[in-house]
Amino acid sequence: MNLTSKRKSLKKVYEPIGVLLARTRITPNIITVISVIIGVLAALAFFHEKPLTGAILVFMSGFFDLLDGVVAREKDRASKFGAVFDWLADKFVDGFLLFFIGITYSTPYLTAIAITTSMLHTFIKPVAYAEIGFSNRQKGKIEDPLEGVGFFGRPETLLTIIIFGIFEHFKILGGLEFGFVLITALTTLSLLQRIVYLYIKYNKDYE
């Protein structure tokens, strides 16, 4: 699926809102914090077995997460700290969501696997930047070969949570119990895809 590779197409939908926000006094980091707060509220909604509310809040959190980058570029306030903060904020929200959904609708073992593979799937990229040297940037964003490798990352995870949160509310297709298994399996396979890609392309001694 890899929605990240479709970022340029999706940007046409949310960028105009980011441009409008950039005209206010709100800063990119504040938008990131708002995204985190809404994401934590979403996790708590799932924990209290309110999946429809959780699904709506996940959508809102993800939407705000898209806007912080637009505002940063429009205000010419992209910073190294902002880039790091955004990554950490994303994984903080992901960890909360997967943990509370997992302990509410799945098993502790599957929850541990889901959180671990999700974190590895994301943080394999900065390790690759450091060890292999992907460092080119365009408007503050790193462009690298791993961007298009791995078919199930954060956007797909959030979308799946939203869909199966709605399914849970209406008791369709096993709801979040099945959705969580799906997220865990696809994230693990996508992580393996990235590892195999790096192995095939970079399994050689340092020069």
Q: Which residues contact 101 (CB under 8 A, 6 or more apart)?
A: 43, 46, 47, 54, 161, 176, 180
Would you state the pLDDT for residue 136?
Answer: 59
Residue 4 has pLDDT above 90, yes or no: no
pLDDT in tens, 12-37: 777 777 778 778 888 899 999 999 99
Q: Which residue has the tokens 């060890």?
A: 131
Which of 19-33, 117-131, 184-198 has the highest mean predicted lDDT (pLDDT)? 184-198
For residue 76, is it within any domain? yes
> What does pLDDT average to over the chain?
87
What span, in angstroms and rounded, lies between the C-alpha atoms of 178 and 91? 22
Would you state the pLDDT for residue 204?
Answer: 75
Complete DSSP assignment for 39-96: HHHHHHHHHTT-HHHHHHHHHHHHHHHHHHHHHHHHTT---HHHHHHHHHHHHHHHHH
Would you state the pLDDT for residue 133?
Answer: 67
Helix (H, G, I), strand (E, B) or coil at 107: coil
pLDDT higher for 146 or 35?
35
For residue 111, is it within any domain? yes
pLDDT in tens, 59-87: 999 999 999 888 888 877 778 888 889 99
Residue percentage of the chain with pLDDT more than 90:
58
For residue 163, is it within any domain? yes
Beta bridge partners of 141: 138
Residue 164 has pLDDT above 60, yes or no: yes
Residue 40 has pLDDT above 80, yes or no: yes
Find, among 95, 42, 96, the residue nearest to 64 by Cα. 42
Q: How many domains is the chain built from?
A: 1
pLDDT higher for 157 or 146?
157
CATH of residue 119: 1.20.120.1760
Domain extent for 104: 3-200
For residue 205, is it within any domain? no
For residue 206, is it within any domain? no
Specify the pTM. Answer: 0.89
